[in-house]
Structure 1
Amino acid sequence: MTKEVWMRSTDTTRPPAASLGRTPRRRTPGPAGLLLLATPLLAAGCLLGACSGRVTPTRPAAPAPQTRATPSPAGTGTAGPAKRRHLVAQAVVPEITWFATPDTDAPRGQLANPNREGVPLVFAVEERRARWLLVQLPVRPNGSRGWLRAEDTRVTETPYDLQVDRSTHRLTVLRDGAVIARLPVGIGTGGTPTPSGRFYLTELLRPADPSGPWGPYAFGLSGFSDVITQFNGANGIIGLHGTNRPDLVGTDASHGCIRLRNADIEKLAGILPIGTPISIRG
């Protein structure tokens, strides 16, 4: 099992936690008695939406304001290291339209904002042009991308990046390209593996019972299980969450979710903005 390591952070500018969108008003009955206040996630090691109880959307840290590299003190003649930031687009229209190519009038699809569970839409931005954004789409199949009109979104930044190595059961947390934590994780079994690829955090939920199978917090990812398309009414969304089985962290034990010890997911819930990228490999 990978030993937990939290580095000393030099971040003194992290904004306070803030909502990326309005609080959902509508409560939708979910599978197995779950009252959904946001998109169903993977539960019990597992695909979210399978647990009983209630979940509530919480307020993750807001994306960091746009910044530039800070110049070094006068007289040195050199600039400080550039900050490594990732762009995040939040939808600001009731329905977001995406296109296969920019500068076209032929849409490929639409996504409701917020979605039917009341969750505001955010996207990880891969390319930014004057009037267009190439983004990752939180839809099947994994790896889907599309172009959005820039005017339909509000663009911010996140300094964080997550890297999961399935072969070592380790999650590495980076801020501006510097490692601030290495944490042990549990992943999917051989029959229900955690998918590989580049994804991002789409939402943050707080289960009503912090001692339950999700632990105190659960992030939803933009990725889906490669083998489970329906799970007690949910559609196989991958989650990053706590657990009531810390003894299984560091093993292959879930239906595809990434499990963390509760103390670690609590720390991440306090710093990670929605839209933070996460890569899964190994």
Structure 2
Amino acid sequence: MWKKVCAGMLSAALLTGAAGTVFAAEANDDVVSLVTQPGQPLVTTTAKTTAAAPVKETAAKAEAPAKVELADRLVINLAARSIAAIRDNQKVALYPIGPGKVSTPTPTGYYKVIDKEVNPTWTDPGSATSIPSGPDNPLGYRWIGIGGNYGIHGTNHPDSVGHYVSNGCIRMHEEDVEKIYDMVEVGTPVDITYNRIVVEKTPDDQIAYYIYPDGYGWQNVTAADVNKWLAGYGVADFVTDADVEQKIQASDGNPTYVAKVYPLYVNGQKLKGKAVVQDDITYLPAVDLAEAAKVSLGWKPDEKVLVSSYGQAVGYKKKDTLYC
């Protein structure tokens, strides 16, 4: 239960990637021992000390990405109706798309670019009538084939982009597909997914999550699903189930910013737990830190005070986890 208990009173021995906040607190009775180190009794004096002023965290400025000539792969999220160009595991471009209708959905899976064509000719599969490149061509002026009759292309109906409209191909605005066209070559991987939950880390270390509508009716989303995704980024304790449920009900695809996360080290050793910054307060994982630094740790649940062999700190309980 206490494996993930968190606190921040080990300030002198710790290094984090974010600015920390040091506290002191009045001691009380009834200490629950969380981590016990030989020869290090918990501090249980009743002397009062004054809490130190929090140190305001300052976000680092994100560097402008370098000019991208080729993408390592394309990632299409049908639920988000978007296509992303990925290079060195970073999203370098993101554009809206118009995927297949509900009756003719775009298939998910792993594909690759098999051909490219400028000014493609379109052949009507029903009548076999061909339409050359021009304003009447529904493929626009670029075609990126990914297998079978499926491809990524422009459109002469730009207002259809952002909706489920095609027979299975990926429609894009002409100016966008021309940029994507120049970023790929034959053989570039194309991943097509359907993910209503998207979590990402922004360039300034902020964790944001999105919930998209279920356009195809393929994926039911629960608060537990969202929490599982957020836990992978270390911020699941910093959202409430009520807020997540409200977000699922909205399913508007807008970002919800949770907190900033930073790697946490003790004596050069990277810990599993992270430093989390929310509303300019930095929260640190006490048990992980105590074990790494070989410091005894206890918890006074009634007074909400964490006690260590270095001193005491006010604790904050978020879900089943304590932070300081």
Q: Where on the TM-score scale, by shorter chain, does this alignment land: which range?
A: 0.3 to 0.5
Q: Counting helix residues as a fraction of each chain, which structure ranks higher?
A: 2
Bigger Rg, which one: 2
